[in-house]
């Protein structure tokens, strides 16, 4: 059962850009209500689909570099990376099924 990985500015490239599997990066912060709402959804997706999709969480307060580099202006913002490139950007809370539907366009989750 996979769990989301907490990445820093130092290991972002290794965890995300150089990953051999698709990666959903969750840009979040402790004080963000919608970020806290989507956290358990991402935990479930990671547990159910961790063999096909890696979930990486980046705290924007502690690690502002990646958020700045990828133009994250509001949180939660989730960016799907495949082969080191952005393929989907999702902003704000969304229910699990809606999130899976958007990700399913790019990653075979079933």
Which residues are tagged catalytic? 32, 35
> Among candidates 45, 49, 56, which has minimal Cα distance to 80?
56
Per-residue b or e along 55-89, where b marks 16 or more CB atoms closer than 10 Å to that residue's CB: bbbbbbeebeebbeebebeebbbbbbbeeeeeebe
Give every CB contact of residue 96 below 8 A, 6+ residues apart in sequence. 41, 44, 45
């Amino acid at each position: 059962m996979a769990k989301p990985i907490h990445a820093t500015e130092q290991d972002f490239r290794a965890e995300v850009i150089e990953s051999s599997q698709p990666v959903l990066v969750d840009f979040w912060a402790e004080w963000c209500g919608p970020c806290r709402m989507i956290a358990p959804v991402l935990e479930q997706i990671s547990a159910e689909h961790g063999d096909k999709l890696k979930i990486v969480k980046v705290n924007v307060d502690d690690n502002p570099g990646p958020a700045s580099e990828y133009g994250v202006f509001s949180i939660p913002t989730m960016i799907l990376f495949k082969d080191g490139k952005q393929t989907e950007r999702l902003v704000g809370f969304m229910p699990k099924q809606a999130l899976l539907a958007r990700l399913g366009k790019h990653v075979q989750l079933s």
